[in-house]
Amino acid sequence: MTDLSTLDATAQAELVRGGELTAADLAEAAIERIERLNPILNAVVTPMFDHAREAAPGPFAGVPFLLKDLVAEVPGVRFTEGSVFLRDNVSTYESELVRRLRRAGLVLLGKTNTPEFGLVPACEPVLHGPTRNPWAPDRSTSGSSGGSAAAVAAGLVPMAHGNDLGGSLRFPASACGLFGLKPTRARVPLGPEYGDVLSGWACEHALTRSVRDSAALLDAISGPAPGDPYPAPAPARPFAAEVGADPGRLRIAFSPRLPDGSLGHPDCVAALEDAVALCASLGHDLVEADLPGLTPAVGDAIGTAFNAATAWIVGYWIRKLGRRPGPGELEPLTRAYWEAGQRVSAADYLLAIEDLQAFSRVVAEFLAGFDAWLTPTMSTPPARVGEITSMPEEPLRALERGAPTVAYPAVVANITGNPAMSVPLWRNEEGLPIGVHFLGRFGDEATLFRLAGQLEAARPWPLIAPEPSFPVADVRRFGFELG
């Protein structure tokens, strides 16, 4: 069972296809590891062990998998989005993504932790408590897909669902030493409940240990669903075929600078310099260049859109539940965002989207001259647990503490709809993972997968963290007591 935890999903599926193990064997091993390590990590907040079905004959037949407790719904299973407001909510329908995951043969074993509505780059909701980083349990996983990232990094499952509205797949990938790809806008459907979230910012995919798992899973879950507002450009061939293919000589822009011209943490800059040297050694052309167009007006538009999105999220659940959140049912930062969002008019929102679409054209013109733009993924190493939190007397504290950890503009990929990825090429002197970030051209996951496969082959990264050691008595446990 310990050996199984080090295998990626592709390798585990091959064991089942070859008859060496059954889906039940893989599930049993995953459940054993969840029961043993989750009291330390607090990654899984809703177990679904009794929901595990016989695996479909898909590419990942029998492989255990976890769903982030945000967007992805399973009938009859608690669905909280990390909010006390939704503590008693139970899903009544199955998301299209969940259907596709099941058709791929994945066995769904539970739901993972997320900050309230995925709004902060940490995973420490009041409802469920903090998820801890397997590489250093006193450190944050970042967010918002932090529970899934911790589960994969600790070997509970080989890959797990995540989503990304501003970096929420890529930040935890960096903090937990995983590969995290944010797909092109509309690559993976959001239905049947949603068609388009925040003008295309939100995307669904997964945290994986290997590049091949990410590519093969995207093949299994991508493609438009009936009624989607628009499709992503169709790939020329399966994404899995790109992993291991020669990327050719790429022209890659890079920058160590934040939008304000300053530098990120020295560890993050060192990770970038290492990646630049590695890419150059592989024959690529590296050109230092800042991304144009990141003006204060664009920053204001991002803030307007984000506030409006929070007002929509809370408004959606008020309509769904038939009541408004009571005292203590929203965390202080969420309530502050909600109140700000209610002051955004329809015209304000549309003007912000217009500004961001104009910025997207500037980015597209810039990337016409490059295959990718490279920066650090995060601007600091993983923060300590408890740093990125708010309290009633300091509602903006989580924003003030969290923003400096993610000051490189990962949100550009959400605004433009472009694919982007965090690659776990470096660790600092403390052994903490530090990812580097590649922004690709619209619709061009293929180039990113080819490059990522080349980097993985040249500099293999650890597939699993050492087993975390942290006294269980020191971990506050919320909502999930193992039987």
Residue 213's closest CA among 180, 185, 245, 191? 180
CA end-to-end span of the chain, whole Å?
A: 20
| CA–CA gap between residue 320 and residue 362 (Å, rounded) | 39
Residue 82's closest CA among 398, 414, 413? 398
At residue 161, what are phi and psi to the nearest 5 degrees?
Answer: -65, 145
CB 342 within 8 A of CB 409: no
> Which is catalytic among the residues 5, 83, 95, 168?
168
CB 408 within 8 A of CB 378: yes
> Which is catalytic among the residues 144, 199, 210, 222?
144
| CA–CA gap between residue 65 and residue 79 (Å, rounded) | 17
168 annotated active-site: yes
Q: Tokens 């300053």 map to which residue? A: 262
Angle at 377 between CA 376 and CA 380, to 5 degrees: 80
Q: Where are the beta strands (DSSP E) in 361-442?
A: 372-376, 420-427, 433-440
Residue 402's closest CA among 121, 113, 103? 121
List, in order, residues 6 or more apart from 64 with CB less than 8 Å away. 26, 27, 29, 30, 106, 107, 109, 157, 158
Both structure tokens of 310 = 């929070």
Residues paired with 111 in a beta bridge = 46, 67
| CA–CA gap between residue 483 and residue 468 (Å, rounded) | 21
148 annotated active-site: no
Residue 389's closest CA among 213, 46, 125, 75? 125
> Which is catalytic among the residues 5, 68, 142, 145?
68
Write the single-letter amino acid at 7.
L
Residue 155 in 3-state DSSP? coil
182 annotated active-site: no
Residues taking part in catalysis = 68, 144, 168
